[in-house]
């Protein structure tokens, strides 16, 4: 059972940033909302990636997406918008 999942309103805010950095590659799209919930779970708990509950998907996949978004500047874009 997923814990502390974001609301539809919160997802609507984050989704526009995620769609802006999404690279088309022909792969089946990931459930980005669930991935983001997993990343936030890690941030809230301070747990190691390997301890991510399976309900968020494979920890390695969630970490890889976190890394892609980090390299794409997603977190800086979100923080800049929140600071405005």
Domains held by the chain: number: 1
Dmax over CA atoms of the chain, in Å, equals 35
The answer to the question of residue 43 being in a domain is: no
Which residue, chain included where needed, has tokens 């980005």?
Answer: 32
List CB contacts of 75: < 8 A, sequence separation 6 or more. Answer: 69
Q: What is the pLDDT of residues 53-84, one digit of tens each?
A: 999 999 999 999 999 999 999 999 999 999 98
In a domain, 65, yes or no: yes
Average pLDDT over residues 16-28: 69
3-state secondary structure 29-48: CCCHHHHHHHHHHHHHHCCC
For the cut 50, the answer to whether the pLDDT of residue 1 exceeds it is no
Average pLDDT of span 31-40: 92
Domain encompassing residue 63: 55-83
76 domain residue, yes or no? yes
**Among 22-26, 36-40, 47-51, 56-60, whose mean pLDDT is lowest?**
22-26
Q: What is the mean pLDDT of residues 4-24?
A: 81
């Amino acid at each position: 059972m997923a814990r502390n999942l974001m609301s539809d309103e919160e997802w609507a805010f984050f989704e526009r940033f995620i769609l802006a950095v999404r690279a088309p590659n022909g792969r089946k799209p990931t459930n980005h909302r669930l991935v983001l919930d997993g990343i936030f779970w890690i941030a809230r708990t301070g747990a190691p990636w390997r301890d991510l509950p399976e309900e968020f998907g494979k920890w390695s996949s969630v970490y890889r997406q976190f890394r892609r978004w980090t390299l794409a500047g997603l977190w800086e874009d979100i923080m800049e918008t929140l600071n405005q």
